[in-house]
Amino acid sequence: MERPRTVSGMRPTGPLHLGHYFGVLKNYVALQHTEDAFFFVADWHALTSDYADPSRVRENINEMVKDWVAAGLDPAQCVIFRQSSVKEHAELSLLLSMITPVSWLERNPTYKEQQQQITNKDLGNAGFLCYPVLMAADILMYRPHGVPVGEDQLPHMELTREIARRFNYLYGETTFPEPEAMLTPAAKCPGLDGRKMSKSYNNGIFLRDTMADVEPKVKTMFTDKNRLRKSDPGNPDVCNLFPYHVLLASKEEQDEIREGCTHATMGCVECKQRFLKHIAEFLGPLQERRRALTDAAVQDILADGNERARAFAQTTMDMVRQRMGL
């Protein structure tokens, strides 16, 4: 039987951190075993905001694919490809832009929010405004039943569904299924300073960090700000470190840490030492797989994935052109 199909992508804008792994990559790894999965490096999307300085894009593409494969993505189980190498994405984006009202793009809450919050870049370009149309093309090209996303991407998913619905209405046939959002279970990965973990804040633990990089980060990591001494009872529910025990430690050890923290029998230093042990166990095998990947191996993975993605994309575009009278 034909398996259900899914697609998702990530922008190559810098190193991936624990938040990316637990929030996105872990789900990708699981989906490759149950779906016909297409995962792409969204390099065109990176240019919508970083067009002024694209000097790191190529390097970031290689490094991102290494992180993906090291985290468990298997090129034999899924299709890993580069967006810009499948030119059909650009053609479908152009054709979908013909039927997408500008008002749909301007009302997008993500567009409005980023225009207000990102003040160090000029986001007045057409590419940034049309970002959701390109995203819709990326998704609809593979006619998936669902797309793994976080809650922040729900407005984009709804717009993708509206564009699919409008195309089907205008051209009389169900060319595109309306894909459902496959919400990724929220994984709380706060940054080392208590803010959201982010590449731009440089407050994360990255998948390529050595333990020599990680240890000083963890030693200065915020915990419970109200716990000044070991003898002060703590509250794991407001601690910046405890969410990582939830992700990496057994349930029994989590209960032990909670008990020790709330009754002041375990200090933050010991708590951090336990986290360092678990992060070393997590990163060790991942980085061993990463070291085995050469740039040449990455290019082979992408070349094969590009060919497989392009073959599927061509069948979609044959239908689209026919139905649009081209």
Who contacts 212 (Cβ-Cβ below 8 Å, separation ≥6)?
none
Task: Give the pLDDT confidence score for residue 113 in this predicted structure.
Answer: 57
Work out the mean pLDDT of the chain and round it to a whole number: 89
- Least confidently predicted of 161-165, 177-181, 182-186: 182-186
Residues linked to residue 81 through DSSP beta bridges, in sequence order: 40
**pLDDT at position 308 over 70:** yes
- Least confidently predicted of 29-43, 116-130, 194-208, 290-304: 116-130
- Architecture label for domain 211-289: Orthogonal Bundle (1.10)
Who contacts 188 (Cβ-Cβ below 8 Å, separation ≥6)?
243, 246
Class of residue 222 by CB neighbours under 10 A (exposed 0-12, middle 13-18, buried 19+) = middle
Task: Give the pLDDT confidence score for residue 222 in this predicted structure.
Answer: 85
Residue 228: pLDDT band (50, 70, 90) is: confident
What is the per-residue DSSP string for 234-274? --TTT-SSHHHHHHHS-HHHHHHHHHHHHTTSS-HHHHHHH
Task: Give the pLDDT confidence score for residue 223 in this predicted structure.
Answer: 87
Task: Give the pLDDT confidence score for residue 32 in this predicted structure.
Answer: 96
d(CA 241, CA 194): 9
The domain ranges of the chain are 5-187+295-323, 211-289
H or E segment and range at residue 8: strand 5-10
CATH 3.30.360.10 fits 5-187+295-323, yes or no: no
Determine the 3-state secondary structure of 9 from DSSP: strand
**pLDDT at position 109 over 70:** no
**Highest mean pLDDT pick, 53-57, 71-75, 131-135, 188-192:** 71-75
**pLDDT at position 47 over 90:** no
- The answer to whether 249 and 258 have CB atoms below 8 angstroms apart is no
Residue with tokens 């992508």: 9
Over residues 191-220, the pLDDT tens digits come to: 888 787 877 677 889 999 999 999 999 998
Nearest to 242 by CA among 226, 222, 228: 222
- Least confidently predicted of 19-28, 275-284, 310-319: 19-28
Nearest to 167 by CA among 157, 158, 177: 177
pTM summary value: 0.89
Residue 73: pLDDT band (50, 70, 90) is: very high
Q: Which two tokens stand for residue 187?
A: 């994984």
Is there a shared CATH topology between the 5-187+295-323 domain and the 211-289 domain? no
Task: Give the pLDDT confidence score for residue 293 in this predicted structure.
Answer: 94
Determine the 3-state secondary structure of 127 from DSSP: helix
- The answer to whether 13 and 67 have CB atoms below 8 angstroms apart is no
* Torsion angle of C-alpha atoms 95, 149, 24, 75, degrees rounded to 10: -40
Task: Give the pLDDT confidence score for residue 5 in this predicted structure.
Answer: 96
For the chain, give percent helix, strand, coil, nearest 5.
Answer: 55, 10, 35
Pick the more confident residue, 135 or 54: 135
Pick the more confident residue, 192 or 275: 275
Residue with tokens 């970083």: 50
**pLDDT at position 176 over 90:** yes
Determine the 3-state secondary structure of 58 from DSSP: helix
d(CA 167, CA 148): 23
**pLDDT at position 115 over 60:** no
Residue 287: pLDDT band (50, 70, 90) is: very high
Determine the 3-state secondary structure of 324 from DSSP: coil
Task: Give residue 169's identity as a one-letter amino acid code.
Answer: Y
Task: Give the pLDDT confidence score for residue 221 in this predicted structure.
Answer: 87
Task: Give the pLDDT confidence score for residue 290 in this predicted structure.
Answer: 94
Residue 122: pLDDT band (50, 70, 90) is: low
Proportion of the chain above pLDDT 70, given as a percent: 92
